[in-house]
Chain A
């Protein structure tokens, strides 16, 4: 008897919970995207971090232009960079990636290897798309998997007021001048000379604030696509340059725990004289700290170097998910974003350089400092050796760890540090 009453109650309870669950899951809670669309009207999901960084609503407007033209709807899923990465990585493994995805050059190798992103070479061929207008294509085993939509250069920012206060009259153009300027800044101001964010959560400091010095002096981390860190004169000298800066106290305190945001924060607050950072931050820095009097300069080069300088670039790349059911339409969208007119507009909005070589962005309304950076960019060449590299983030992380050990004095020489990194990198490239 008692048992019966109990089991009855249990049954009702469970049934109730399940009904609640099903009702809730089936109707009220279901995502709007789950609504079954008629085959004729296709909706593509476009997952990226660009929407967060562009002016409000700008990306949606560009996508609307595509819908007006083709009838294909675009749903933008915009999240910050790190979140987008997590979602895409999880989506790659579970097959839930959005149809069209924003990619960073450093992810391409891994997602292409996993078979999570589609071969764009095939799609372009099927569409007989003229790819000669693309300024670059990121490949894996000979086929294109990512197309850079816009590129961001990483010039040297400097704070004019700090330099004035320190008595630095000329913007340094060589390492000696740079170290000299740092010494004056240290003696005469409270500010730090330079900064490299070395937090291991996001080890991009190695790419943007370290390797940029190597590339600017015509150096390289790779040779024939393989790691070449030992017996590499430029790299050795840059590594020692950082050790000098660290030992003499030119770097911001606590660089080991800093993230890129912290570095920008230091600069915005007038506590940092020089930094290497994306031009994309131009607008935010101007907006957040209107009082900071800053400008761009060319990267200082190794004394005696007269060749062309490489300038670090990062890009907003685009790719198509392998699990996308409307690849033809997705390719149409990619082609739309790469069309000269739209690409130019996107580049102009993002303070970036276009990925279509025929695009002619009208930068006249952009900050004049931006145009200065554009000139530097045109004088040198674009380079980023981490783009398309295998497990690029991990390469940067192992470099980061060895660099910190060297700066802290745990590794006795730059040669030891670099050969340790070489060993770790080789194990990645070797496999």
Chain B
């Protein structure tokens, strides 16, 4: 009985893995595959699965172009600052929302939810005027602030959610032992919520890394441009430079993949449960 249940469970898992692999993987396989094809082969009938003109020229081209390297440096710098600042500021706010009750909490919380609703495109013009007025136009700092303020609400809401799953008794215990709220946050809540921080961090990274509209409008010169704007440079009026676009996307996502792999261990079931027990 138990054995049969286990087998059927395994089969379901296997089926989902196969479907998931096709669903997530095929479009990406196709994109990478096409990046190695000459233009004429892309829509060939029947499809050409493996092109004969396979090479890594596109990657080499990026590394030889100082402007494009600059795009990457800018993007990495902006994104790293945004992830760190969002997490730090967001954790503090989430802690306040999760563990305190104070007048205005409802209002602030509602505002945090609602402000995300305004399509960024409509904010663009007043926001641009504001950035010009505070003399940050065409600086990376403007981009950092922009992404910070757009990812913060998400970080706060999600981290509040994660903190709420952690029993209050744990940080109460710290306080009984004479620790401050500050200690409770960093010693108990933060270590327990690491998987949540990893997921929020990934989200923040992706948002800051892929944002295009503000990156285009808030900067003017190539030395302040980021990767998405660079990718669009490869989409000319008539032809797509597929291989280079792909190469830039892959190179852009590598750091987050690496970080994700490093933090993988926090996703191992039971680990946090153990921490809670102790």
Seen from chain A, the residues whose Cβ lies within 8 Å of a Cβ on chain B are 2-3, 5-6, 9, 13, 17, 20-21, 24-25, 29-34, 45, 47, 49, 52-53, 75, 77, 79-81, 83, 86-87, 90, 93-96, 98, 260-261, 264-265, 268-269, 271, 281, 284-285, 288-289, 291
Contacts of B180 in A (CB 8 A): 2-3, 5-6
- Chain B 193-230, CB within 8 Å of chain A: the 1/0 string? 00000000000000000000100110111111000010
* Pairwise interchain contact A77-B233, C-beta atoms closer than 8 A: no
- The interface-forming segment of B22-30, B51-59, B237-245, B247-255 is B237-245
User: Nearest chain A CB to B89's CB is how many angstroms away?
Assistant: 8
Contact of B139 with A by CB under 8 A: yes
User: Nearest chain A CB to B262's CB is how many angstroms away?
Assistant: 24
* Pairwise interchain contact A25-B217, C-beta atoms closer than 8 A: no
Given contacts A30-B139, A80-B233, A95-B132, contact A87 B181 (CB under 8 A): no
* Pairwise interchain contact A96-B235, C-beta atoms closer than 8 A: no
Contacts of B137 in A (CB 8 A): 96
User: Nearest chain A CB to B142's CB is how many angstroms away?
Assistant: 8
Tally of chain B residues near chain A (CB < 8 A): 41
Q: How far is the CA of A215 from the CA of B230 in the complex (A)?
A: 38
Given contacts A5-B180, A33-B220, contact A289 B124 (CB under 8 A): no
Contact of B43 with A by CB under 8 A: yes
Contact of B263 with A by CB under 8 A: no
Contacts of B213 in A (CB 8 A): 86
Residue among A9, A25, A47, A95 having the largest count of chain B Cβ atoms under 10 Å: A25
Given contacts A75-B221, A83-B232, contact A261 B128 (CB under 8 A): no
Contacts of B112 in A (CB 8 A): none
Contacts of A5 in B (CB 8 A): 180, 182
* Pairwise interchain contact A25-B139, C-beta atoms closer than 8 A: yes
* Pairwise interchain contact A80-B128, C-beta atoms closer than 8 A: no
Which of A9, A24, A33, A281 interacts with B140 by CB under 8 Å? A24
Contact of B3 with A by CB under 8 A: no
* Pairwise interchain contact A31-B224, C-beta atoms closer than 8 A: yes
Q: How far is the CA of A269 from the CA of B41 in the complex (A)?
A: 8
* Pairwise interchain contact A83-B39, C-beta atoms closer than 8 A: no
Contacts of A49 in B (CB 8 A): 237
User: Nearest chain B CB to A6's CB is how many angstroms away?
Assistant: 5
User: Nearest chain A CB to B36's CB is how many angstroms away?
Assistant: 16
* Pairwise interchain contact A261-B182, C-beta atoms closer than 8 A: no
Q: How far is the CA of A3 from the CA of B132 in the complex (A)?
A: 38
Contacts of B43 in A (CB 8 A): 265, 269, 271
* Pairwise interchain contact B237-A53, C-beta atoms closer than 8 A: yes
Contact of B236 with A by CB under 8 A: yes
Which of B81, B139, B182, B233 interacts with A2 by CB under 8 Å? B182
In the A-B complex, list the 3 residue pairs whose CB atoms are closest, starting with the nearest.
A25-B141, A2-B180, A31-B138
| CB-based nearest A residue for B178 | A2
| CB-based nearest A residue for B125 | A93
| CB-based nearest B residue for A90 | B217
